Structure 1
Amino acid sequence: MKAKFFFLLWLLTVAAFAQKKTAPAAPFNPFIGLDAFVNQMLTEWRVPGASVAIVKDGKLLYAKGYGLKDVKNNLPVTEKTLFPIASCTKSFTSAALAILADEGKLDWNKPVKEYMPDFQLHDEYATRTVTARDLVSHRTGLARHDWTWLYANLDRQSLYQRLKYLPLSKPVYAQYQYNNLMFMTAGVLVERISEKSWENFLREKILQPLGMKQTVLTYPELFQTADYALSYRDNNGQWAEQGFGSNVDAIGPAGSVKSNAVEMANWLLMQLGKGKFGEKQIVSEANLKENHTPHIIVSPAEITFSELGYATYGMGWSINTYRGFLRLAHNGSIEGYRSQMAFFPNENLGVVILTNTGLADYYFVNSVCNYVSDKWLNLSAIDWPSRLKTAQAEAKAKTEKAKQDNAAKRKSDTKPSHNSDSYTGTYQHPAYGSFALEARGDDEFIGVFHGLPFTLKHYHYDVFEGTGVFDQTKFDFRIDAKGAIDRVMVTLSNAGEIEFKKGAPSP
């Protein structure tokens, strides 16, 4: 009896083991944990709202909104909530040029001057040499000069006509220099060749064929829609609305598309589909490949994390490798909005993340994008949030050290060479516009530039330092042959020294 019992127990054990051994493994599900992760990131990085979409193998597999699009009224983000995508727009403008190339109206390598005789840069060689390809690959030699358009009361044509007053900081092709004004110029080129506005060309040739019916290209259009996200900045721990005064629509081809996760998924599907969406060939495979081909090394050449390859730039796309996989991506930043789109052409995978605060800079979108990439590429998980928090802390420490170094460089016991009235007045630059200075005490001035207030405080000698819109910017006042203050050299980030002449007329 005992032997029969043990034999029966043995049979049951073998049967159970065999059943366990042959039971099929649970299918891999990259969606597991995604919701919890995104919501956790919203909390950790302090982001009011976000929208995420994932495409794979020609299909939209995931689109969802998280958090709030309107904090005051407690309104949630949906997958159809519109966000300004900022510089992700650049890929649209590059695709517009590709379509013109398909139509035989544009040669990538022909100088822009041959299409637009009034095209003029400060350097004559650059003027005669720069091509459409160069405009959208950040290799013209022109520094950013973003303060020519930011918050300025200028339209696209006015900004285009002022390019000739902006000095190049590098020779053509010498170095990667990210540039919004050159993408704006590419939009002007689209307009001249097509005889349509950049906005209408995009609507007809790209947005409508892609079914991007809710995507808009200007703020007035955005404000007429019912579902768009407000952007936010931190105000002593509370959210405050950022506003919409940047003037980005004027440089629209560089950054004015406003879209949602679902429709941006269509954009990525077209990129992954080699220019095709559904049965429609939006842009030829050959000319889209021109957009996707590296044209310049992003400098300084450095690898922040070992999983990332050296960065290059094509036309409207940053190109590198992520953990050994080819990746094309772009970020966007305007008025508190942050966005990121990325796709892996060889894995037929794409992801887009849209957010409504700049408080976390790109750390939030990178955390989510990398998490999704790891999951869908079936890679071992990397704790990107911890890594990026370390990077954020290091960046803050670097900024603080720069402030300390700046204070240490100041020469004490110096004073301005002239009385305060000698520095007051209006200072002008033919591309940047003007600002007026009024004295407030012996060594302090107040001014307004493009409608934004700033203060100048004495740094040393005839150098003053800005606060407000010109925070930590140096203003170096100069004298003429008679000893009178006649100009000021303003050292602007990503532009260099810009000379504003006292009392000089605008162009």
Structure 2
Amino acid sequence: MDAAVERYRPPGLAVGIIVDGEVVFTATRGELAAGGGQPVDRDTLFQIASNSKAMTAAVLARLVDQGKLAWTDPVVRHLPDFRMYDDWVTREMQVRDLLIHNSGLGAGAGDLMLWPGPNRFSRQDVIHGLRHLKPVYSFRSRYAYDNTLYIVAGEVAAAAGGAPFDRLLRRELFEPLGLRRCQAGRWLRDEVGNIAQPHAGGADGHRVARADPEIVEDPPMLAAGGIRCSLDDMLRWAAMWLQPERHGLDAGGRPFLSATQREEAWKTHMPMPLTTRMREWDNSHFSAYGYGWRLTDVDGTWKVSHTGTLSGMYSSLTLLPEKGVGIVILANGEMDELRTVLGQVLVKRFTRPADATLTVAHYAGLLAATAPAAANAATAADAGPRKPALASDAQVPTGRYRDPWFGEVALCPNGEGIEFRALKSPRLAGALHYSGERLLVDWHDPGVDAEAWVHFDQRDDGTRMTLAKVDPAADFSYDYEDLAFERTGDCDAP
């Protein structure tokens, strides 16, 4: 822990380990907000991001146990207005398919309705937009990570459970398991208190990015990545999975989940790619997705885990069921490397305890060895010198444009330049620039860290605009490539 903090200097960090049902280690470092003087502790709320997915799956599993739905139910049985791009897929999509990333959509398809937040998309907007997202693979043919279908899963749960999804989370998950600090839905910042804020910047310059407002609204992405929990909450959650007979009972002594549904959550429902790093670092032989969990093997033992990533918030939950071990890492900064390195070292304490060489420095060195290649790739993707596109440039077809799922944008003069502004995603606003002969959008918000190429296709039947990531390796949630804008009017149109 100290070695990781010294090397990466996170603004705030909370780590806990549970073994055989007992918390054997906790440590917290840093502050809720850099320079604010309020320390992180075991009750500090962190955004757990995609670790929310296993909680969504658990709520659905509870409803299956209660006979309110079945994993093989068609989604349209619970949400009659649900549509995918293909009518056959719409009919065949089952509740279980919503959880295992097999829809045929590309990775991150539709994420621009969720990210960057906050924005003005509702859950209904997200679900309606799915019918316009074209698949890139055959249904159920391969794994491609998505968030939008988890939002559908949350609404299926709400329909079957007879309550909004945030209330279901409290009723079916937080209260039975005593997750007393976890938050979902709409809540008041000052009433809840002790909340880690997301940070941008590096080790010597962390700054709070998009601090929580007084009223924290119910995020559309709640079921996919919108839950907040403390370190103690996450350790209780881990203990339920590792020792259900002891920690998986509600106040009335009833099992939180049946043995059948616990087994179902950790089955291999969808094969995943086995990466070179997994083979070389962990001697892994398989990789798969369960219901909200990633499954693999490490040094001959079973590993069940997930990570969570939002801008300025990183989480990790790792379970080694055969060893009774659970490891939680929560950070409120851009801490991808810290999460990887510290998580790896802690796992190895249980899978290869005799190997004293597997330290923070060791794994940081392995990552550093790949840094030159990554830096070269980033340099190659850099758009290079640029100059502003001028409002007087007749080559730029300014006006109002519309994409069927993302909605309207304005590409209009702003002073001497040209501004791109998305109606429902206010943080996607930036100035149009030339890089050589190509056009790109340079976003105003530094937290939007993936610039977009802009291309126009002027035809007899109208003007079309498409976008693409300047850096092809940028986060897949910037799914610019799924956008297909058509010009709908002039900038002075109402």
Structure 1 portions without partners, runs of 5+: 1-37
1:42·1:48 contact (CA, 8 Å) conserved in 2?
no
Q: For 2:63 and 2:181, how far apart are their aligned partners in 1?
A: 24
The residue aligned with 2:472 is none
Deviation at 1:392, TM superposition (A): 5.1
Task: Specify whether residues 223 and 420 from structure 1 end up closer, same or farther in structure 2 by C-alpha distance, changes over 3 A only.
Answer: farther
1:454·1:470 contact (CA, 8 Å) conserved in 2?
no
The residue aligned with 1:281 is 255
Residues 1:346 and 2:322 are matched in the alignment: yes
The residue aligned with 1:7 is none
Q: Count matched residues.
A: 457
Of structures 1 and 2, the one scoring higher in RCO (CA 8 A, sep 6+) is 2
1:243·1:335 contact (CA, 8 Å) conserved in 2?
no
1:248·1:255 contact (CA, 8 Å) conserved in 2?
no
Q: For 2:451 and 2:349, how far apart are their aligned partners in 1?
A: 42
Q: For 1:392 and 1:356, how far apart are their aligned partners in 2?
A: 22
Deviation at 1:230, TM superposition (A): 1.6
Q: For 2:321 and 2:202, how far apart are their aligned partners in 1?
A: 41
Q: For 2:457 and 2:233, how far apart are their aligned partners in 1?
A: 53
1:274·1:285 contact (CA, 8 Å) conserved in 2?
no
Deviation at 1:375, TM superposition (A): 2.3
The residue aligned with 1:149 is 114
1:455·1:467 contact (CA, 8 Å) conserved in 2?
yes
Residues 1:211 and 2:178 are matched in the alignment: yes
The residue aligned with 2:306 is 330
Give aligned-pair identity as a percent: 22
The residue aligned with 1:34 is none
Deviation at 1:204, TM superposition (A): 1.0
Q: For 1:62 and 1:501, how far apart are their aligned partners in 2?
A: 56
Residues 1:499 and 2:466 are matched in the alignment: no
The residue aligned with 1:46 is 9
Q: What is the DSSP-based 3-state SS (H/G/I as helix, E as strand, rest coil) of the residue aligned with 2:176?
A: coil
The residue aligned with 1:320 is 296
Matches within 5 A, 1:28-39: 38-39=1-2
Q: For 1:407 and 1:67, how far apart are their aligned partners in 2?
A: 36
The residue aligned with 2:341 is 367
Task: Specify whether residues 302 and 134 from structure 1 end up closer, same or farther in structure 2 by C-alpha distance, changes over 3 A only.
Answer: farther
Residues 1:394 and 2:370 are matched in the alignment: yes
Which residue of the other structure, out of 172, 176, 199, is the alignment partner of 1:232?
199
Matches within 5 A, 1:57-68: 57-68=20-31
The residue aligned with 1:3 is none
Residues 1:262 and 2:229 are matched in the alignment: no
Deviation at 1:440, TM superposition (A): 6.8
Structure 2 portions without partners, runs of 5+: 470-474
**TM-score (normalizing by structure 2):** 0.85
Q: For 1:390 and 1:210, how far apart are their aligned partners in 2?
A: 39
The residue aligned with 1:27 is none
Q: What is the DSSP-based 3-state SS (H/G/I as helix, E as strand, rest coil) of the residue aligned with 2:439?
A: strand
Q: Deviations over 1:69-93 (max 9, x none)?
A: 2322222111111111111000000
1:445·1:456 contact (CA, 8 Å) conserved in 2?
yes
The residue aligned with 1:404 is 380
1:42·1:67 contact (CA, 8 Å) conserved in 2?
no
Matches within 5 A, 1:88-107: 88-107=51-70
Q: What is the DSSP-based 3-state SS (H/G/I as helix, E as strand, rest coil) of the residue aligned with 2:160?
A: helix
1:137·1:316 contact (CA, 8 Å) conserved in 2?
yes
Q: What is the DSSP-based 3-state SS (H/G/I as helix, E as strand, rest coil) of the residue aligned with 2:418?
A: strand
Q: Deviations over 1:296-323 (max 9, x none)?
A: 1223754443415242111100111122
Q: Deviations over 1:94-125 (max 9, x none)?
A: 11111111111222122212222111011112
1:420·1:439 contact (CA, 8 Å) conserved in 2?
no
Q: What is the DSSP-based 3-state SS (H/G/I as helix, E as strand, rest coil) of the residue aligned with 2:137?
A: coil
The code of the aligned residue for 1:425 comes to G
Which residue of the other structure, out of 124, 135, 139, is the alignment partner of 1:172?
139
Q: For 1:234 and 1:68, how far apart are their aligned partners in 2?
A: 15
The residue aligned with 1:464 is 439
Task: Specify whether residues 248 and 138 from structure 1 end up closer, same or farther in structure 2 by C-alpha distance, changes over 3 A only.
Answer: farther
Deviation at 1:161, TM superposition (A): 2.0
The residue aligned with 1:424 is 398
2:8·2:203 contact (CA, 8 Å) conserved in 1?
no
Does 73-82 or 233-242 show the bigger shift? Answer: 233-242
**TM-score (normalizing by structure 1):** 0.83
Deviation at 1:422, TM superposition (A): 4.8
Does 389-398 or 495-504 show the bigger shift? Answer: 389-398
Q: Please report the RMSD computed on the Cα atoms of aligned residues, expressed in angstroms.
A: 2.9
Q: For 2:404 and 2:87, how far apart are their aligned partners in 1?
A: 18
Q: For 1:193 and 1:497, how far apart are their aligned partners in 2?
A: 31
Larger radius of gyration between Structure 1 and Structure 2 = 1
Task: Specify whether residues 154 and 376 from structure 1 end up closer, same or farther in structure 2 by C-alpha distance, changes over 3 A only.
Answer: same
Q: Deviations over 1:328-369 (max 9, x none)?
A: 0110112301000010111111010100101x32x2122222
